Structure 1
Amino acid sequence: MTPGAEPGSGFRWPEALSAPVRELSDFSRLWVALSGGLDSTLLLHLAVHCHGPAGTVNAVHINHQLQPNASETEAFCRALCAVLEVPLVVERVSVVSGDDRGGSGGIEEAARTARYGVLEELMRPGDILLMAHHGDDQAETVLFRMLRGSGVAGLAGMPASRALGAGRLVRPLLHLERSELEHWAQAAGLSWINDPSNTNERFDRNFLRHRVLPLVRSRWPGLNRRLCHTADACAESETLNRKLAALQWKSLGGEWDRLPTTGLKALSLAEQKNLIRWWVRERGFQPPSVADWQQSLHDLLFAGEDREPELRAEGFSLRRFQGGLYLVPEKAPLPETPVALEPGPARRWGEWSLKLEPVSTPESLPPPIRIFTRQGGERVRFHPDGRSRSLKKWLQELRVPPWERPRLPLVFAGSEGVGELIAIGDLWCSEQYSGGAHAAAWRLVVERECD
C-alpha cells in the first residue's frame, strides 16, 4: 500500500479523537509506537496533525521478524514516516519462546517482553510514548486476565498513562472503540498493513477477539463500557490497596530489602498478601504466582527458628532470617575457580569490586593473591599471634544471612594450598593490607554494589 501524506480533502479530525493527543504537553520528544496497522497508523497521523513533525514527533517500529510480511510492514512504516517527515527508529528483535500457543510464557508474551525492553531503552527524561490501544483492546485485556485468574491489579486493565523507562507511556485512544477508529481512518483515506497473525486463533487473545467477544457482545452490546467500568473500579481498589500497603510498611519499620516478621504476623492474611505484593512491585519484580498463599506465608513466618524457609519467584526469592523477611534478588553465578588479583584495575566478583593498590613505592610485587568463595572448613586468624577461628561460626555470630555467605569474596595471600586468608568481603581485612599497610606496602580495597 502507498501511504498518503495527508487525509483526504475536506476531512476534519473529530474532537473526540484529537483532543486527548492535542492536550499532551510538557514533553521533550513525542514518540508513536508504529506497527503499521490501522490503529497506530491513525495515531501517527493524529500526532502529526496535533503537534506537527518539526522534530517533535518521532516514530519507532519494532520488527519482531515473526510474520512473513515483516519486511513489507517495515518498508510501509519507513515510507509513511518519510511522507509525513517524521524521524523513524526501526529496531529488529529476536523472539524466543518454547510455547507458541500464546499463553503465559508463549510467543505473544515473549514478543511483548522484547518490544517493551526496546521501548524502555529508547525513552529519555521528558519523553512521551503514544500507543494506540483502544477500548476493544482494554475489554480483551480485562477478560483475558480474568480467565487467567488475575487479581485486582490485573483486572484494572491497561492504564491510560504510566512510567516507561525514563519517560512515560500514554494511551490516548482507550476511550474509543475500534469500529470508530476504522470509520475515521477510512473517512480520512488512510491505508495500513494488516498483521496476518491477528486472525490466527491458536493465540489466546485472537480466540477471545474473534470467537468469544463477538458472541458476548451480541448478548450485551455495551460490553466494552461494562468491562471498562470494571477496570476503573479495580484500578481504584488497587490504588487504595497500595496506599494501605505503604502506610503499613512504614508503621512496621520496613526497609528496602527487609520486612520485620513480628508486625507482619499481626496482620490479616489479606493484608499480608497485599503488603508483600506491593513490596515486590516496588522493588521492580512481579509478585509470585502462589496457589496457596495461606500455606506459603505460614511457612515463611512460622517455621521453626532452625529452618530457612524460602519462597522462590521469577528473578528473586523471599527468605526469612533473624526476625526479618528478606527480598533476595537472583545473582549472577560466581567463578568456579580462584581468580588472581593483581595490581591495577579493579577486579569484578559478582556484586563486588576488589582492587590492590600501593600505599607507597613498593620494593617488590605483592605475593600471589587469589579470590575465591567458601568451600567449607576455612579458618581465619585475626591477629598474627592469635588463635585461628572457624569462619563459619564467625559469620554466624555476625548474623550474616545464609544466602550471602557463599557469595562473600575470600581473599588469600600466598601460594595455593598454603595461602593465608587476608580479607572476608568488606567485613574484615588483615591489618597488613588495610590502613597504612606498612607491612605489605599494598592496600586491599573491597567494595560492594548496592542492590
Structure 2
Amino acid sequence: MTPGASPGAGFAWPEAVCAPVRALPDHERLWVALSGGLDSTLLLHLCVYCYPRPGAVNAIHVNHQLQPNAGETETFCESRCQALGVPLQVRRVTVPVGDGDGTGVEGAAREARYREFERLLAPGDLLLMAHHGDDQAETVLFRLLRGSGVAGLAGMPSTRTLGDGQLHRPLLAFNRQQLQIWAEQAGLQWVEDPSNSDQAHDRNFLRHSVMPLLKSRWPSLIKRLGHSARACGEQQELAAALAQIHYASVAGGEGRLRVAQMLGLSPVEQKNLLHWWITRAGYRFPAVADWSQVLNDLLLSAPDCEPECRGDGYSLRRFHGWIYLVPDSCAEEVAPQSLLPGQTVTVGRWRLTLHAVANPVGSAPPIRISTRQGGERIRPRPDGPSRPLKKWLQEQRVPTWERARMPLVFEGPEGNGELIAVGDLWLSGKYCGEAPAAGWRIVVERDCD
C-alpha cells in the first residue's frame, strides 16, 4: 500500500478533472467500480467531492481471489468506503483458469467482473470505471497487434449500455502520470496489484516494456493513439449507420435477411451488415480467416444447400433464400408443461398465455405444451382432413432447426390430445377470435428481430 502523505496546503480537485464527473447524466444511483488501485481510488474520492450528499455515491469491489493480497485489497476498499461514508458491495467470484475471451486468466477475470456489474445495475443506474488515457492507448495497441478492425481500434467507449444501466469512463482524457500527481497531492492511499508487474501477461508487457520505449520516441503517443481511437470510433458509427440503411432493405422482420437483396450489396457492405447484425444481437463477430469464402457459401451456394457459419453461441444459417441468426439455445431440450389460465409460458422465442373469454362454462380444459416427438398430425381446417405435421411444416418453409423446438399446444390428456396450436403459425378456431368456441383464448407471441 502506498503511504499517502497529507494533502498539500489548500488542495482542491482541479475543475478539469471534476467537469466530466459533474457532467454525468441524471441517474438513480451512482456506482464506482473500486479495485483499490490508484485510478479507481482517485475516482471514488473525486465522486464524493463532486456529489457530497450522503448516499449519493456507491461502490462495488469485485474480488477475483487470484492474488495473494486479495484479502488485503478487499479490506482496504471497505475501510476507504467506510471513511468516506460510501456504501460498498463486495462480490467474490471464482475465475476459471483458461476460460474467457481468448486472453486466458485476464479475459476470464474481466468476464466475471462484468457479469457482476450487469447483475448489480438497475434501470437508471450509472457505473463509473477509472480507465484513463494510458489504458486507452494500451487497448488500441493491443487490439492492433491482435488484428482487430475499426470497431476494435476505436478502443474503449466513454459510455455504453451495461445490463440495465450505463457504464461511463470520465477519466479517458487524462494520462496516468497526471492522475498520480493529483492523487499524491490529495494524500490518497491505494493498493498495488502484484500481477500488474508480471510481464507474462501481454497487457503488462505492453505497459512496462513497449509503451515506455514508444513514449521516449514519441512523447505525445497517448494523445496520438487517443486521436486514432476517436477517428476509428467515428468510422464505426458511419459503418453502423450504413448497415442500418442496408438492413431496412434486406430484413425479413423475423431475425432473417433476404439473400436476393444482399446480393445487391458489395462484399464489403455484406460483411459490414452481418457485423452490425450480429453485434447488435449481443454476440461476438466470428473470427474468420476468409470472409469471401463465407459470403460465397451463404449467398451463392446451390438453392438446396443449407450452409452454416458457426459463431460463439450462435450460427449463421441459410434456408429457402433467407439468412438466419440462430442462437445455440434453439437446440436445447424443452420439457412438456401445462398451460394454465393467466400464466405465461416461455418456450424459446415464443410466449403463450391462456385467457378466459366472457364467463366460460366450467374450468379450463387440460392444455399442455410440448415439442415435436414424431407422428403428430394437424387439421388446418375444421372440415378438412388431418395431415402429417412434418409435411405441413415443410410446406410452410419453417427452418429445419425451428421445427424441433417450435411449441405445440395440445388439448386433452397426454398421449391422446388434439393439436390446437403450432407456434405462432396456426391456432385452432376453438381458441382464437372474438368469441372462441371453447370459451378460452390462447395468445401466442414470438420475439422477432
TM-score interval, smaller chain:
0.7 to 0.9
**Corresponding residue of 1:262:** 260
Distance 1:29 1:413, change over 3 A: closer
Query: Secondary structure of the residue that 2:73 maps to in structure 1?
Result: helix
Aligned residue type for 2:303: E
1:296 offset after TM fit, Å? 0.4
Whether 1:39 aligns to 2:36 is: no
Correspondence list, 1:349-360, <5 A: 349-354=347-352
Let me know the Cα RMSD of the aligned residues: 3.1
Q: Distance in 2 between matches of 1:383 and 1:242?
A: 46
Q: Gaps (5+ residues) in structure 1?
A: none
Whether 1:450 aligns to 2:447 is: yes
Q: Distance in 2 between matches of 1:346 and 1:33?
A: 37
Cα displacement string for residues 284-323 of structure 1 (whole angstroms, at most 9, x for unaligned residues): 3222222111110111111111111222212322222333
Distance 1:53 1:41, change over 3 A: farther
Query: Secondary structure of the residue that 1:403 maps to in structure 2?
Result: helix
Query: Which moved further from structure 2: 151-160 or 426-435?
Result: 426-435
Cα displacement string for residues 30-84 of structure 1 (whole angstroms, at most 9, x for unaligned residues): 3221111011111111222222243222222222222222221111111111111
Whether 1:62 aligns to 2:62 is: yes
1:185 offset after TM fit, Å? 1.4
Distance 1:13 1:210, change over 3 A: same
**Corresponding residue of 2:133:** 135
Distance 1:189 1:92, change over 3 A: same
**Corresponding residue of 2:392:** 394
Q: Distance in 2 between matches of 1:71 and 1:240?
A: 46
Aligned residue type for 1:410: L
Distance 1:23 1:354, change over 3 A: closer
Query: Secondary structure of the residue that 2:329 maps to in structure 1?
Result: coil
1:449 offset after TM fit, Å? 4.2
Distance 1:235 1:324, change over 3 A: same
**Corresponding residue of 2:291:** 293
**Corresponding residue of 1:311:** 309
Q: 2:229 aligns with which of 231, 245, 255?
A: 231
Query: Which moved further from structure 2: 81-90 or 441-450?
Result: 441-450
Correspondence list, 1:18-417, <5 A: 18-24=18-24, 26-99=26-99, 104=102, 106-252=104-250, 255=253, 257-331=255-329, 334-335=332-333, 338-339=336-337, 345=343, 347-354=345-352, 366=365, 371-382=369-380, 386-412=384-410
Query: Secondary structure of the residue that 1:259 maps to in structure 2?
Result: strand
1:334 offset after TM fit, Å? 4.9
Aligned residue type for 1:250: A
TM-score by length of structure 1 reads 0.87
1:209 offset after TM fit, Å? 1.5
Query: Secondary structure of the residue that 1:314 maps to in structure 2?
Result: coil
Distance 1:77 1:332, change over 3 A: farther
Distance 1:410 1:239, change over 3 A: closer
Q: How many pairs are equivalent?
A: 446
Distance 1:423 1:213, change over 3 A: same
What's the % identity of the aligned pairs?
Answer: 59
1:157 offset after TM fit, Å? 0.7
**Corresponding residue of 1:426:** 424
Query: Which moved further from structure 2: 71-80 or 309-318?
Result: 309-318
Query: Which moved further from structure 2: 351-360 or 369-378?
Result: 351-360
Q: Distance in 2 between matches of 1:433 and 1:41?
A: 61
Cα displacement string for residues 138-195 of structure 1 (whole angstroms, at most 9, x for unaligned residues): 1110111111110001001112222333433222221222122222212222111111
Distance 1:207 1:323, change over 3 A: same
Query: Secondary structure of the residue that 1:407 maps to in structure 2?
Result: coil
Q: Distance in 2 between matches of 1:417 and 1:222?
A: 75
1:244 offset after TM fit, Å? 1.7
